[in-house]
Amino acid sequence: MSERLLVLVRHGQSEWNLKNLFTGWKDPDLTEQGVAEAISAGRKLKAQGFTFDIAFTSVLKRAQRTLDLMLAEIGQTGLRTEKNLALNERDYGDLSGLNKDEARKKWGEEQVHVWRRSYDVPPPGGESLKDTLARTLPYYVQEILPHVLRGERTLVAAHGNSLRALIMVLEKLSPEAILKRELATGAPVIYRLNADSTVASKLDLAD
């Protein structure tokens, strides 16, 4: 039985990350820095000797391009890849496209903080982290995890909040703890799982 390997990578910096905009399901591309972060992530994985049997990503280009750049570094550009909106970033609804400072002026510092940092309070027309987990987690359990448990080395390139949903389950974090968990862009987090899907070991390749 080969190792049960699961690697999670948040996409590289996007154009809207740089502009301090709420992005959500909007579809900006990577910045030059984001491209460099994705290439660096691929190099780190190659240096660890990793190759993959399958990859998963969202339907948003910043995650897909990050995945493509990593796979090019690893030498696996033709890898089987599944794309699904279950792995999309949290939908920020009416906040999408707004500068975070503009949003604070419109709704107030405290309200925007609640929308960004509470577990179950969604912004107008959008999703809370709890809502994001409700769509991401079933996809993980039904579509991603079976490949890992069969010994297929699995790479997931997605977004800060969709990956937080997976990390919450993998690391058995509380709603309070997951809100404090920051994920660096373009930094692979490597899990090896036990046969019962619990985490045997974790390695974070953030600089």
Q: DSSP letter string over 17-86?
A: HHTTB--TT----B-HHHHHHHHHHHHHHHHTT---SEEEE-SSHHHHHHHHHHHHHHT-TT--EEE-GG
Calculate the alpha carbon distances from 151 to 66, 148, 171, 191, 192 in Å.
24, 5, 20, 13, 10
Handedness of CA 14, 16, 17, 18 (dihedral sign): positive
Identity of residue 11: H
Q: Note whether residue 13 is domain-resident.
A: yes
Asked if pLDDT for residue 153 goes beyond 60, the answer is yes
Give me the mean pLDDT over the 8-25 stretch: 94
Q: Which residues contact 98 (CB under 8 A, 6 or more apart)?
A: 21, 22, 106
Q: Note whether residue 73 is domain-resident.
A: yes
Q: Note whether residue 182 is domain-resident.
A: yes
Active-site hit among 37, 73, 89, 127? 89
What's the maximum distance between 2 C-alpha atoms anywhere in the chain? Answer: 56
Say how many domains are in the chain: 1
Asked if pLDDT for residue 3 goes beyond 90, the answer is no
Using CA atoms, how far apart are residues 173 and 160, in angstroms rounded to an integer? 15
Structure tokens at 188: 């692979």
Asked if pLDDT for residue 65 goes beyond 70, the answer is yes
Structure tokens at 156: 């997931």
Q: Note whether residue 119 is domain-resident.
A: no
Q: Note whether residue 200 is domain-resident.
A: yes
First to last CA, the chain: 31
Q: Note whether residue 196 is domain-resident.
A: yes
| Residues 9/155, Cβ–Cβ less than 8 Å | yes
Q: Note whether residue 138 is domain-resident.
A: yes
Asked if pLDDT for residue 108 goes beyond 60, the answer is yes
pLDDT value for 76? 97
Higher-pLDDT residue of 91 and 117 is 91
Task: State the CATH number of the domain containing residue 177.
Answer: 3.40.50.1240
89 is an active site residue = yes
HSE-CB at 151 with a 13 A cutoff on CA atoms is 3
- State which residues form the domain around 14: 6-19+27-92+133-155+164-204
147 is an active site residue = no
Q: What percentage of the chain reaches a pLDDT higher than 70?
A: 99
Residue 198: helix, strand or coil by DSSP?
Answer: coil
| Residues 4/195, Cβ–Cβ less than 8 Å | yes
Q: Note whether residue 100 is domain-resident.
A: no
pTM: 0.95
